[in-house]
Amino acid sequence: MKQLRPLTITNGRLVTPDGLRDGAIRLVDGRIDALGGVQPHDGDEIVDAKGQLVTPGLVDFGVFKVDKPAFHFGGITRAALMPDQSPSLDLPSRVSYIAKSGKPDFWVHPLAAATRGLEGREIAEIALMREAGARGIATGRQWIADAGVMLRLLQYAAMLDMTVVTHAEEAALVGGAVATSGEIATRRGLPSAPAAAEVIAISRDVALAELAGARLHFRQVTTRAGLDLIRAAKARGVLVTCGVTPAHFMLSDLATVDFRTFARLSPPLRCEDERQAVREALADGTIDVVASGHDPRGPEDKRLPFADAEPGMAGAETLLAMVLSLVRDEVIDLARAFDLVAAAPARLLEVEAGTLAVGREADVALVDPERPWVIQSAKMEATAGNTPFDGQPTQGRVSALWKGGVAVSA
């Protein structure tokens, strides 16, 4: 799918790394040709943005399922797929297949399994998977408990100049827990683990990354103490980044009081103080990425007692609206919002996208930031609507989307 005709989007508010600027953007041969004070050329297709935001297509870092209609609804043009597939992405042939699977109107960037079968014991053929299209290495939903294996993995990744994406929960402490230890879990009788399980995992893995000189990304950091460790590591020059999903800055463990399994997540929801710590870390730049954590689960996984349900949420369709709520709450500005959901993930994946800049790939969205809508799990485009935001009124919708300059949604 190639862009056959140049496209100029006029009368837009362009969201750039430097902030908002009024103007137009011209897309030619799948790339951004010019932006700002741009006039359409003869023969251009012209789209009037009518004052809407013109933004980069979102880059969703760390999803568990390729769910194209849901991604397009949410303005997402690329996603990094976690290796927790069936079978896991621990062979070059599987990585190669996934890397081609979404094209041409959606690009999937596979993350290679760190260990064979994601069992945390034997390091997988990472170099061969990089050649097959892997854009990073991931431990999956699990933490690698063996420090020796983790150190060798980080050393190998440093040699290959690849980022390791890890799950931050000390496995022996978490066990079969489904909630964070505290008043809510105690009152509801839920198996729980201390929030310190995250802190201990981060502390060890930061130390190992520093020793190996490797790039390490914590897919989700959800505690005040864990975020303090990330801040301190960055200040020392450790090559560490971290992310979070909207559930952990929008919800606390109060969302679990009625045992609704849509709020059964991994890591579990935290107390209100931890939620506020996440919002502070978004404001001060400690958190680098906000991702959807897209993991649609059907009734067979969710219509169960809370302790028996599988964790996960369908997040692609609500990612943009939840991040725009941070802008309305004046936690962050628009430039920072799109750095979190587009530019920073693109940097981690080392792809030429995520930013409105001349020469970048023409993955562009038109966004109406004020458009109201109600999140309804039964009407979601995802294969399952297991969202903890079901029934919540919100604002901000994508009205048009282009992948490589070609319209894929309107």
pLDDT digit string (tens) for 297-341? 999 999 999 999 999 999 999 999 999 999 999 999 999 999 999
Question: Number of H helices and number of E strands within the chain?
Answer: 14, 19
- Extended strands (E) in 197-353: 215-218, 240-244, 289-290
Locus of tokens 């010019």: 34
Quote the CA–CA distance of 335 and 305 in Å, as a whole number.
41
410, pLDDT greater than 90: no
pLDDT in tens, 141-187: 999 999 999 999 999 999 999 999 999 999 999 999 999 999 999 99
Q: What is the pLDDT of residue 387?
A: 96
Q: Please state the pTM of the whole predicted model.
A: 0.96
Dig out the tokens for 140 from the structure. 């999956």
Q: Hey, how many other C-beta atoms are within 10 angstroms of the C-beta on 50?
A: 11
Q: Measured at the alpha carbon of residue 319, what is the angle toward residues 179 and 356, in degrees to the nearest 5?
A: 140
Contact assessment for residue 167 and residue 139, using Cβ atoms and an 8 Å cutoff: yes
Quote the CA–CA distance of 342 and 178 in Å, as a whole number.
31
pLDDT in tens, 25-78: 999 999 999 999 999 999 999 999 999 999 999 999 999 999 999 999 999 999
409, pLDDT greater than 90: no
| Domains contained in the chain, CATH given | 57-354+370-393 (3.20.20.140)
Q: What is the pLDDT of residue 282?
A: 98
Q: Exposed (0-12), middle (13-18) or buried (19+): which is 223, by Cβ within 10 Å?
A: buried
Q: Is 323 helix (H, G, I), strand (E, B) or coil?
A: helix
Quote the CA–CA distance of 292 and 384 in Å, as a whole number.
14
Q: Average pLDDT over the chain, rounded to whole?
A: 96
Continuous segment of H or E residues that includes residue 355: none
For residues 75-107, one letter each, b for 16 or more C-beta atoms within 10 angstroms of the residue's C-beta and e for the rest, the string is: bbbbbbbbbbbeebbbbbebbbebbeebeebbb
Percent of the chain with pLDDT over 90: 97
Contact assessment for residue 223 and residue 267, using Cβ atoms and an 8 Å cutoff: no
1, pLDDT greater than 80: no
- Average pLDDT of the segment spanning 208-233: 98
Quote the CA–CA distance of 208 and 12 in Å, as a whole number.
46
